[in-house]
Amino acid sequence: AQTVTQSQPEMSVQEAETVTLSCTYDTSESDYYLFWYKQPPSRQMILVIRQEAYKQQNATENRFSVNFQKAAKSFSLKISDSQLGDAAMYFCAYRSRAGGTSYGKLTFGQGTILTVHP
Amino acid sequence: NAGVMQNPRHLVRRRGQEARLRCSPMKGHSHVYWYRQLPEEGLKFMVYLQKENIIDESGMPKERFSAEFPKEGPSILRIQQVVRGDSAAYFCASSPPGQGRQVHEQYFGPGTRLTVT
């Protein structure tokens, strides 16, 4: 079974600064997706960015980028030019790309609460 | 295109009652997933359904919990004889049909917060 670990329960950053959230995962599969989701106080889950394991290039979405280290099974999220609206709980998630009935589910980490100071 | 809809948003039940949570996927989506989020924890997968079929229920408690996604109408997560430990936020997500092994993002609803008193 796959596991996802976020070792930082809380992080904080000054507005306009950069912050990196850590995520490690364990899997025996070689083909999978990784995601970062944001959950603001409204509790709505919002997809921030996704990475396909077979792609070596790190994904980027505007101010959000990832550092994907497949051999180390590490998938960190970097938020540049942090804004007050970035304050939320951030979840790292894994999804298998292999066949079979279990490929649909997302496996989430425990989450990291990000506080942005003005 | 309306997003994933869940109702009710808040549900209060007394111990022993039944809870029914509804999820209407996005238009064109035929895959539905249910997740549970206990306080201060991440989301945990419960069940994955396609129209009229349960594909993966490996995260569903064996007793008291059931899920369906009929040909017509929303997906329903049903919890019988609720206990205090069932208090949590229940999220539904949907995705479109896959093309072979193509995997699509899951789009989440706003969740239903169940409180058992």
**Average pLDDT of every residue of chain B:** 91
Residue linked to tokens 């942090």: A82
- CA A104-A108-A112 angle, 5° bins: 155
- The dihedral built from the CA positions of residue A22, B36, A42 and B31, taken in this order, carries a sign that is positive
Do B108 and A45 lie within an 8 Å CB cutoff?
A: yes
Of A33, A35, A107, the CB nearest to B45: A107
State residue B40's pLDDT score: 78
Nearest CB neighbour to B48, from listed A105, A107, A110: A105
The pLDDT value given to residue A58: 94
- pLDDT by residue (tens digit) across A56-66? 899 999 999 99
Model confidence at A1, pLDDT cuts 50, 70, 90, reads confident
pLDDT at residue B93, as a whole number: 95
Tokens standing for B62?
């064996």
- Give the pLDDT confidence score for residue B61 in this predicted structure: 94
Strand segments (E) across A3-43: 3-5, 10-14, 19-21, 24-26, 32-39
pLDDT digits over B94-110, tens only? 988 765 555 678 899 99
Pick from B33, B41, B108: which is nearest to A110 by CB?
A: B41
Interface of B with A in 39-78 (CB under 8 A): 41-45, 48, 55-56, 58-59
Taking CB atoms and an 8 Å limit, are B110 and A95 in contact across chains? no
The pLDDT value recorded for residue A31 is 87
pLDDT at B71 over 70: yes
The pLDDT assigned to A103 comes to 64
B25 touches chain A (CB under 8 A): no
| pLDDT for position A96 | 86
Q: For B38-56, what is each residue's pLDDT tens digit? A: 987 889 999 999 988 999 9
| Chain B residues in contact with A91 (beta carbon < 8 A) | 42-43
What is the structure's pLDDT at A11? Answer: 97
B83 to chain A nearest CA, in Å?
23
Cβ-defined contact of A43 to B111 (cutoff 8 Å) = yes
User: 3-class DSSP state for residue A28?
Assistant: coil
Percent of chain B residues past pLDDT 70, beyond the cut:
93
Q: Hey, which residues 79-108 in chain A have their CB within 8 Å of chain B?
A: 91, 95, 97-99, 101-108
Cβ–Cβ contact A44 with B under 8 A: yes
Tens digits of residue pLDDT in A87-117: 999 999 999 877 665 567 899 999 999 999 9
